[in-house]
Amino acid sequence: MALRQEPYVLVVGGSDSSGGAGIGRDIETISSIGVRACLAVTAVTVQTHEAVREIHHSSPSLVAAQMCAALQANEVAAIKIGMLATAEIVVAVAAVLRDYPQVPAILDPVLASSSGQQLLEASAIHVMTRDLMPVCRLVTPNLIELAFLAGTDPAADENDALRQGRELLATGLQALLIKGGHAIGARSADILLRFDQEPARFDAPRLAGSVRGTGCMLASAIAAHLAKASPLEDSVRKGKEFVFEKLQENAVT
Ligand code: PLP
């Protein structure tokens, strides 16, 4: 029996021993928005802030069992998915999501660390686009991930990114948030694409310095606001505001 019937976000992802990214960041973010988190661990990683030293992934059945137990134990109102490591784990997670279509899932399609280490095996990308992305309420790629998922070169400009995003959306996705943080320029725009609506832009000034785990934070903050019953676009706006505040606190000039 659940201890408290309040909304939870189920976090599905890998641990990061440095604390910079992964499920540690996710739980920190979700609880600071006033929502509780429960867990399904896909991988244990050994990391410093400069390098990924080791990756040990869970078996697909262990991931699915953790997800099902978390969903049975708690009032899960949203699911946040990060590092998935292998194609078999992607398949297992998609199968659980299909059994819980009423719970919105936010997928941060983590492919690599900022230090360049691959965090999802290459053969899993096709499975992710085919099986997992269509059952997620929102997918949040940065420009590099977008190009990989769309099977093309990184976008040269915003129009190019929009074209890639629309192509990806047309493969059966519900919504896509293109994160423009890797683009060059003074401002950084994220764009929310949905099938039957005009794109929504979320503009923010670019801050100096860099903070690890911003992708984890954004997807977790969006999931936490969805769990608090905010509509998707409001959840994205509030998620962006949360990450911007965190970046401001940590900005190095
Ligand atoms: N490690 C884990 C477990 C992650 O989930 C992620 C990103 O989601 C990373 C590392 C990469 O984070 P960063 O890009 O900050 O290195």
Supply the pLDDT for residue 50: 93
Q: Is 10 helix (H, G, I), strand (E, B) or coil?
A: strand
Would you say 244 and 204 are in contact if contact means Cβ atoms under 8 Å apart? yes
Supply the pLDDT for residue 81: 98
Residues with CB under 6 A from ligand 1: 13-14, 16, 20-22, 45, 82-83, 108, 110, 113-115, 119, 212-213, 215-216
Confidence of residue 203 (pLDDT cuts 50, 70, 90): confident
26: CATH: 3.40.1190.20
Confidence of residue 208 (pLDDT cuts 50, 70, 90): low
Ligand 1 centroid distance, CA of 118 (Å):
10
Give domain status of residue 1, yes or no: no
Q: What percent of the chain has pLDDT over 90?
A: 82
Regarding predicted confidence, which is higher, 144 or 250? 144
Atom of ligand 1 nearest to the CA of 112: 11
Give domain status of residue 245, yes or no: yes
Ligand 1 centroid distance, CA of 251 (Å):
19
Atom of ligand 1 nearest to the CA of 115: 16
> Does 136 score more than 70 pLDDT?
yes
Confidence of residue 252 (pLDDT cuts 50, 70, 90): very low
> Does 1 score more than 60 pLDDT?
no
Please state the domain count of the chain.
Answer: 1
Task: Summarize pLDDT for 40-74 with one digit per residue, the tens.
Answer: 999 999 999 999 999 999 999 999 999 999 999 99
Ligand 1 centroid distance, CA of 71 (Å):
25
Supply the pLDDT for residue 224: 98
Give domain status of residue 191, yes or no: yes
Regarding predicted confidence, which is higher, 229 or 4? 229
Give domain status of residue 2, yes or no: no
Q: What is the dihedral of CA 37, 230, 240, 195, to 10 degrees?
A: 110
Give domain status of residue 109, yes or no: yes
Atom of ligand 1 nearest to the CA of 20: 15
d(CA 220, CA 40): 14
Supply the pLDDT for residue 3: 52
Tokens 């047309």 found at: 170
User: What sign for the dihedral angle of Cα 89, 90, 91, 95?
Assistant: positive
> Does 183 score more than 70 pLDDT?
no
Supply the pLDDT for residue 108: 98
Give domain status of residue 90, yes or no: yes
d(CA 32, CA 242): 10
Read off the tokens for 147. 């190009």
Give domain status of residue 123, yes or no: yes
Instruction: Tell me which residue has its CA closest to atom 4 in ligand 1.
Output: 22
> Does 135 score more than 80 pLDDT?
yes
Q: Note the pTM of the prediction, 2 decimals.
A: 0.95
Host domain of residue 91: 7-250
Give domain status of residue 29, yes or no: yes
Atom of ligand 1 nearest to the CA of 14: 3
Candidate from 47, 56, 216 with most ligand 1 atoms within 8 A of CB, to mutate: 216
Confidence of residue 253 (pLDDT cuts 50, 70, 90): very low
Read off the tokens for 114. 């900022």
Supply the pLDDT for residue 250: 75
Task: Summarize pLDDT for 78-120 with one digit per residue, the tens.
Answer: 999 999 999 999 999 999 999 999 999 999 999 999 889 999 9
Read off the tokens for 203. 């503009």
